[in-house]
Amino acid sequence: MGRVVLAVLVSACVCVAAASSGGAAPSAPARERPSLEAYSGLGAWISIYDKRAWRDPEGAVARLSAHGVHTLFLETSNYRQRQAIVRPSVVSAFIEAAHARDIDIVAWYLPSLADTARDLRRALAAVDFVTADGDDSFDSFALDIEATLVRSIPRRNALTLQLAGALRAAVPDDYPLGAITIAPVGASPTYWPTFPFRGLSRVADVFLPMAYFTARTRGAAGVRAYTAANVRLIRGEAGDPAFPVHPIGGLTPRATPSEVRAFVGAAGACGALGASLWEFEQTTAAEWAELVPLARPAAALAPAAAAATC
């Protein structure tokens, strides 16, 4: 383990312990939230398995731009991969193409939590990644927290907070960090009970719940209720009724246009920063049409004050 990574992990453990000590330690002053522009408006997701997009990053970004996408969320690696950055030359091309079309680009990585030192190195590899010409980089980074290799829930929670805290400690205060989280409504009680939303809210600036409504409900009314309930519950767990949220809906092959319309409406009623569907390559023309209210130039949804109507 590198000395820098070790030092950051040790520092994070101290911070997490202090935050969990029931108030025995003096609380740190509240950290000012950085700009969350990269999480506003309409988003689109590309994983490392989307072969068509990775063969032609410029073409993929051109299609995103045509649909008014504000932010591309690009997977840089996951714990199953050998490389910290998969196909770095293509990642570089994605960044350059996105910024050439005024699209923000957020890196995301799926950690195992079984090796937090490696997970931290790989997350920081994305944060620190620069394009081939050395002049450009990602606008933000989001940690995809869903792996269950660590079977003990208390230990999984502790490792999640350790990794997230180490990442927060390693980046500047004004660097925006996202946390891609579970959607608690309707989730199996054995999957991840007591997900650590409260602890994560101290180090992450925005939550991106995987609110895949096609796995939980059907019909516009069901989708609207499911999406809003997830946002309300997550904010309640975070202890902040206006905590920044960017819900991810889907799955695109199974969603109907009316369900997508309901998802977009619920995100707006809850004052979400933005919203997106999983995932880009399988989004249909009819679904894109329903996503128009999220698109630029109206890059943001209702202000956080609208959360009261959620």
Three-state secondary structure readout of the chain: CCHHHHHHHHHHHHHHHHHCCCCCCCCCCCCCCCCCHHHCEEEEEECCCCHHHHHCHHHHHHHHHHCCCCEEEEEEEECCCCCCCCCHHHHHHHHHHHHHCCCEEEEEEECCCCCHHHHHHHHHHHHCCECCCCCCECCEEEEECCCCCCCCHHHHHHHHHHHHHHHHHHCCCCCCEEEEECCCCCCCCCCCCCCCHHHHHCCCCEEEEECCHHHCCCCHHHHHHHHHHHHHHHHHHHCCCCCCECCEEECCCCCCHHHHHHHHHHHHHCCCCEEEEECHHHCCHHHHHHCHHHCCCCCCCCCHHHHHHC
Predicted local distance difference test score (pLDDT) of residue 269: 94
**201: containing domain:** 34-309
Q: Is residue 27 part of a domain?
A: no
Q: Is residue 284 part of a domain?
A: yes
Q: Is residue 237 part of a domain?
A: yes
Q: Check: CB of residue 200 under 8 Å from CB of residue 181.
A: yes
Predicted local distance difference test score (pLDDT) of residue 307: 56
pTM of the model: 0.89
Q: Is residue 90 part of a domain?
A: yes
Residue 54 is part of a domain; what is its CATH number?
Answer: 3.20.20.80
Q: Is residue 152 part of a domain?
A: yes
Predicted local distance difference test score (pLDDT) of residue 164: 98
Q: Is residue 9 part of a domain?
A: no
Ordered strands of the 248-250 beta sheet: 206-209, 177-181, 140-144, 104-110, 71-78, 41-46, 274-278, 248-250
The tens-digit pLDDT sequence of the chain (310 residues) is 343 343 444 344 434 443 333 333 334 446 678 999 999 999 999 999 999 999 999 999 999 999 999 999 999 999 999 999 999 999 999 999 999 999 999 999 999 999 999 999 999 999 999 999 999 999 999 999 999 999 999 999 999 999 999 999 999 999 999 999 999 999 999 999 999 999 999 999 999 999 999 999 999 999 999 999 999 999 999 999 999 999 999 999 999 999 999 999 999 999 999 999 999 999 999 999 999 999 854 444 544 555 557 8
User: Which residues neighbour 23 within 8 Å (Cβ) at sequence distance 6 or greater?
Assistant: none
Q: Is residue 2 part of a domain?
A: no
The number of distinct structural domains making up the chain is: 1
Predicted local distance difference test score (pLDDT) of residue 308: 59
Predicted local distance difference test score (pLDDT) of residue 3: 30
Q: Is residue 138 part of a domain?
A: yes
